[in-house]
Structure 1
Amino acid sequence: MRPGRGSAPCHHGELLQGFFRDSVGAARPGLVTLPSPVAGVRAEFRPSGTGTEVTVRPPGRGKAARAARLALDAVVGPATGGGLLTLHGAVPPGLGLGSSTADVVAAVRAVADAADVRIAPPTLARLAVAAEAASDPLMFEDARPRLFAQRDGDVLEVLPGGLPPLLVVGCLLDGGRPVDTPACRPPEPRPAVVATYEELRTALRAALAAGDAAGVARVATRSAQLHRTDGEVDRLLAAVDGPGVLGVQIAHSGNVAGVLLAPGDGPDAERVTAALRAAGIVPTGWFTSGGARHPRPVGALGGAW
């Protein structure tokens, strides 16, 4: 093996989250992430000549070290080899940006590069779930939206079309308090609840097929209201209500959120940013997701994203 490198993007929370029927009718946790062009993680893996331990820098990124070990087991052999894994990228953890999955995916790709092999995205998804219990679909390299079973590493549906351009004004709910993803699988909800999520799935499928940004935003807003019932979504909606706002989206596990507007920057994004500050909600910047991407960081955390 030789030194290897890998990278992975992050995301900006979800457009849809809940429980969805798979091909045999079982209800499974699933989500559709909102891509972000602003942040990501790079990894370097240097194999060692002796031992099987994977050391990670900076320390404390145990999921990435575990993923590197699983990747070594897959491409070299069980309990064979070790090395130093170095991660680069200032992605705030615990906010719902997919920082741990980005660490994991970048680590696996760096190990694969060191072994001069390619690990296909479906296999990488299973390795990611094994390393961190729940994963985001950051290992898929094309831009097609996916309904992803984050606890299993399975794609429940590749949705039609692509994400229409949306201007996303990012912010932090609940003061930006970090949130740990629960290790345990959530219990299956009542059939009526699953039926509601399936209606949103159908609506998102139709909006994506039609390139309907407003339709996507409506689904994201309703999904956010169903997922988070502590009043933070209603507070956000009240703060930014006005011309140009299509809806909001939030993270599945974390306090990052976004106000969704029609493409283009300028007065609407500036007005929303000012409204967030006036309501005591921290803005983090804005970017365009879907179509042409022109990230424009502003606010307290703009330099990190």
Structure 2
Amino acid sequence: MFKSAIFNLQEASRDQVQEFLNSFDTVLSDCDGVLWINNNAIPGSAEAMNYFRKLGKKIFYVTNNSTKTRSEFAIKAQQLGFIAEPEEILSTAYLVAHYLKGIGFRKKVYLIGSSGIADELKAVGIRHIGIGPDNVKPDFKSMTTAELDPEVGAVVVGFDEHVSYPKFMKAASYLANEECLFVATNTDERFPKSSSIIIPGTGTLVRAVETCSERKALVLGKPNDYVRKFLESFGFDPTRTLMIGDRCNTDIEFGIRCGFQTLLVKTGVTSEKDLERMRIERRPPVPDVILPKLGDILNLTSS
């Protein structure tokens, strides 16, 4: 409807807003930076998502965050006022388990990640090691092959607050075997910020392991092909699907690759300055429509 227009929906007429709402049957939404930041819902976001559901839209929560299981994400969403079920959550922790189970993986995973991935792997019967701190020792360079598990057949990298030099050493050493799989949840540069403190994202860790292993990871999260193929299994019409996100190089790029309509909100990573540069340069990926925050859609429908 507003193809790659970076159109501010607040400037639309009431008829245009209604036409926009009638143009999609399925809503896919990113979570961090769109619906909430940390443990706080962004004002109006729950009401907006629940409004879409009331209109009869099919809802999916599509997140690159790998720190929780689908059930944990659903509980968090519910506590913040969203109507959500585990089956509607598509997280990268779940995608990792789904992918490895789908290819018949039988070995053990060395995991640079958190309990979300660990629990999803456990749920499908895949063994793993590596969770938690692996402290740097004064003689860390003396690590030997005896400290490596011969059963490991895959290295998985997600967000890990306990990342350390020994973890990078082990990951690279496992990956020296060309038969060892290398899988990553996502390559997001940073988390949406609620203060002046920058929190490096999973992409920081993935790039580090890629550098020291001299290998490239299979990345499962947005905007990559695996999540697109997974969503295709639901059989909905791409042209009548809306992807909502807060960053152009993952959420909006993903929507464009899939043939979805795209809505960018300015409550997360992509800033007004970024958008202005995109307008001037017409540099893809650019969203179809924008809003300051998702909850603003409610003001447009009631005006």
Q: Shorter-chain TM-score: which interval?
A: under 0.3
Counting strand residues as a fraction of each chain, which structure ranks higher?
A: 1
TM-score (norm 2): 0.27
Counting helix residues as a fraction of each chain, which structure ranks higher?
A: 2
Structure having the higher Rg: 2
TM-score (norm 1): 0.27
